Amino acid sequence: MSYNIISHFAAKLTVCADGGANYVFELLDDDRNKYIPDVICGDLDSVNSNAQNYYKDKGTIIVHKSDEDENDFLKCLRLVLQTEPYRNIQCDYIIALGAVHDRFDQSMASIHALYVAAKISRIQIILLSVKSYICLLTPGQHKVLVNTEMEGNWCSLLPIGNKCNNLRTTGLKWNLPGIEFAFGSLISTSNAFDGSNEVTITTDDNVIWSMEINYTLN
């Protein structure tokens, strides 16, 4: 079963990272009037004048951040998490569409952004690619409910950027027993659910959880 992700989630704030606005503009076509981003943020070297002028006329705030040390996605996250008035918005999740896509470097920059954001805020940030749900699990106990009918067949745990010495799971076909978990020794890809309604993950260090997810955009 597939869910329409745009109508499924009612976002309190929508932010486009620079050229992401072009994508939304093109994708929504006749429906674009229904989904006006609140903010377009970034170095603004990619958003085209059609999209920028259209959204500006509809009240979208344009935030130009010209520095070349962080990508536009991280600039957007900082805007939302660190600046007034956005940081006062109460929300459960930040969902990012398109931050893991065709460019490997930008996809890794999006993963990096999760680590940076975790130092600023406890809000869970979820990256959605065409088929994947990706989030950072920080040290502690986590529960992933896997009975929403949006899950697909595979899931994975990746210790990107650090090693976990004590990562334990339940609910997986190949559970992790708390042995060294690191690139070069052991990682967990192509894992699967064992049929329980939830997966539990207890970890002593950061680890990236991802799983297949089925949804549509329009």
Residues near ligand LLZGTKA7 (CB under 6 A): 17-20, 42, 46, 71-73, 99, 101-103, 106, 110
CB of residue 36 to ligand TPP, shortest distance in Å? 22
The correct pick among 41, 70, 98, 188 for binding ligand TPP (CB under 6 A) is: 70
Residue type, 104: F
Tokens for 14, please give them: 């929508």
Query: If binding is defined by CB under 6 A, does position 191 make contact with ligand TPP?
Result: no
CB of residue 66 to ligand TPP, shortest distance in Å? 10
How many chain residues touch ligand TPP (CB under 6 A)?
9
* Subset of residues 8 to 67 that bind ligand TPP, contact rule: CB under 6 A: 18, 42-43, 45
Residue with Cβ nearer ligand TPP (76 or 207): 76
What is the rounded (10 degree) CA torsion for 152, 172, 91, 4? 10
Tokens for 105, please give them: 């470097």
Query: If binding is defined by CB under 6 A, does position 151 make contact with ligand TPP?
Result: no
DSSP state of 186: B
Angle between helices 104-120 and 72-82 (to 10 degrees): 20
Tokens for 189, please give them: 């890809």
